[in-house]
Each structure stands twice: as C-alpha cells, then as structure tokens.
Amino acid sequence: MSFDEIKRLLSEKFGSDVIMDIQSGGLQPALIIKPELIVPVCEELRDNKNTWFDFLSCLTGVDHGVENNKFSVVYHLASIPHKHQLVLKVIIDHDRNTSTLPTCNTVSGVWKTAEWHEREAFDLLGIQFEGHPDLRRILLPDDWEGYPLRKDYIAAEEYKGIKIK
C-alpha cells in the first residue's frame, strides 16, 4: 500500500483532520497524527489487512527546543508480510514552566515492544506515556534527576560522590 493510499485510508476512517501535517523532507515521509488519535490509528494500521503493520521497529522522542515548547514522539512501523514501512509522528505542546511532563498515550497495547521504547523516551526525555503498564527508568538509576536528552537539561556535577563532569 502506498503512502498516499495509507493517507486516504486514515482520512476515510478517522476524518480529514486525523493527519495534521505531512513531513516529506527526510528519507521517509511522515504523517503527523492528531495526538489523541494515535492509539486508534496504530490499531487500524496493525489490524487492516491492506496495511498490516505488525512491527514497531522504533519509537523515539524529540525535544524541539526550549523556545518551541514542543516534543515529538516518532513511530517507525513495518509490515513484514507486505514489505512496507511508515513513519508516524505526534507533536506534543508542553509548557516547560510547569512541573508536569509532556504526555502522550501509550501504544504498548498495540505493540508489546513499545513498553521498552516508551520507557527509554521517558527516561531520557521525560515524556509521560499515559496508560503504560510499567513506566519507570530503564537506563538511568531510579533516583537520577532530570532527563539528559532534553535541551534544557543541566548535568549534575556529581552523582553519589562520583564526579560526572
């Protein structure tokens, strides 16, 4: 199924506003999906016999910078039987002046492997995944302060008496 056919499928199923934008500047074009529809869109792409995206090959987070107050979650999907790939993105507006974390719905109920990918995005960027069954740090110690891949992260001088810098 082509990129345009997938766009049409999603628009017919969820309405024309499901796709907020299209990014075509990189190696793979990406569909920017309305954040609140990411789970049903992923379920449709997994379950539809014409798309059958049975594999979430990568999920990552992106910090768009302090001045933009935006984060993204990027989903790289693959259909092993149909031999095609797709990139989805969700853009999350986030006010850094609050104590809350940027939030996105989990897709761990769609693809089990998302549990690990989402934990990494949480650990390094502080993206909260609503509904995740076990959202906790995966790479850093549980008592680590901050999220090292955020643009506003300030590294500590030491951790438990060990110099970091």
Cβ neighbours of residue 53 closer than 8 Å, sequence gap 6 or more: 42, 45, 46, 77, 78, 79, 86
> pLDDT class for 2, splitting at 50, 70, 90?
very high
pTM: 0.94
Give residue for tokens 């999350």: 92
**What are the pLDDT digits (tens) for 108-153?**
999 999 999 999 999 999 999 999 999 999 999 999 999 999 999 9
pLDDT at residue 21, rounded to an integer: 97
What domains can you pick out in the chain, each with its CATH number?
3-163 (3.30.460.80)
Structure tokens at 27: 């190696």
pLDDT of the residue at 79: 97
Query: Tell me, what amino acid is at 105?
Result: N
What's the CA gap between 56 and 58, in Å, rounded? 6
95 vs 85: CA distance, rounded Å: 33
Taking only the tens place, the pLDDT of each residue in 144-164 is 999 999 999 998 888 998 998
Position 25 confidence tier, pLDDT thresholds 50, 70, 90: confident
Question: Over pLDDT 70: what percentage of the chain?
Answer: 100
Q: Give start and end residues of each alpha helix (H) in the chain.
A: 3-14, 38-47, 114-125
The confidence score (pLDDT) of residue 66 equals 94
Residue 131 parent element (H or E): none
What is the average pLDDT score of the chain?
96
Is pLDDT above 90 for 87?
yes
